[in-house]
Chain A
Amino acid sequence: MAQHQVNYAASGGLPVALTTVDKIVNWGRSNSLWALTYGLACCAIEMMASGASRYDFDRFGVIFRASPRQADVMIVAGTLTKKHAEFIRRLYDQMAEPKWVISMGSCANTGGMFNTYATVQGVDRVIPVDLYLPGCAPRPETLQYAVMLLQKKIRKQSIFQKQKPKRLV
């Protein structure tokens, strides 16, 4: 038996918060975006810098994981070559739903300055991309902004809705 009777009406209301399932699940999803370390080229260095001391990605709940099974978001940082294209698709398929992709830097967006026989002209030819991040290489602040935009996008989604198959470009 409780010794003290709390007068909820006087002390600020019941300790109950009302919300929707959508909001609470998306709150969880958007604030613990674990990223797959997909460093391919120069942008990977900026991605590491975002995770390091000054930019401190942990504040956003972004923790880099080395395994696709534990990751929610794939940050494709760098040039995708034709030789590597198969692996990015395989790793994307290995990630558990729901999953998102940030294409970081010009090379991942469109092939960038490398319009050659060896380079895939945009990572969206291989995997569906949610967010394109311009720059060569984008600054860590840009990557932070991209993650914040992705969080916004996630919060708008309904969790009961079937995930629509994303379209390749």
Chain B
Amino acid sequence: MKRADRNNPIFCLLLPPVFWLGVWQLCALLVDRSMGGRGNELLLPYPATVLAALTHLAGTGEFWESVLLSLLRVLAGLVVGAGLGGLAAALTCAGAWVDRLLSPAIRVVRAAPVASFILLVLLWTGRDQVPVVIVALMVLPVVWDSLSQGIRATDAQWLELARAYRFSRWKTVRLIYLPGLRPHLSAALTTATGLAWKSGVAAEVLCLPSTALGTEIYQTKYYLEIPELFAWTGVAVALSLLLEHLLRRALARWGRRWSL
């Protein structure tokens, strides 16, 4: 193959998924052989079997309802967690005593096993609210950490200018802090989005809300519907990547004009 062909964008885009689908197909074939052609769907189904299961699921109303409700729960948790993380960052950077009080608590939240939180929150709230609370709790420390670093790294010369030019507090936030925090917010939100999906779906699997992607995953385990398990997992991954992509684009658009 010529070098120009290898740099073709369509080729570059398609090569990784085709390669990994090939690896998956090969592994499924090996499992199928070792099982003597009996029951490999319980261990590692073929990609085509998973695609058929996904097509079947996508034809049902429950599928879209579960996907939509899980998406809304994750988004709600992401918004609440990012908001609280931003507020905590502002407070801990504003005062040494607030920092001494809040920072250890946020670090404990970050270090504690997510399963413990899921079970505790399940005791305190309804099962439908648990994923929102868990996602918010997982996102908060990530956003707090990144924005705190950003606030502390704000150029001292700009802050001195704000003081000398008699900027109000709000004007300093609007003209100096917020634009300067964009790269930190971008990094925090892309990391937090992946974490939000992982923790949100984990919470759904453990708490079984009435309609949820995680509840469907639990059901597939219960009834040993492994192709459906792969299909639901693929949907979760695709939604996470899509959300991350949309966030990246929105944040890039925010800073595109001045970074030219």
Query: A and B, one complex?
Result: no
Chain A contact residues, CB within 8 Å of chain B: none
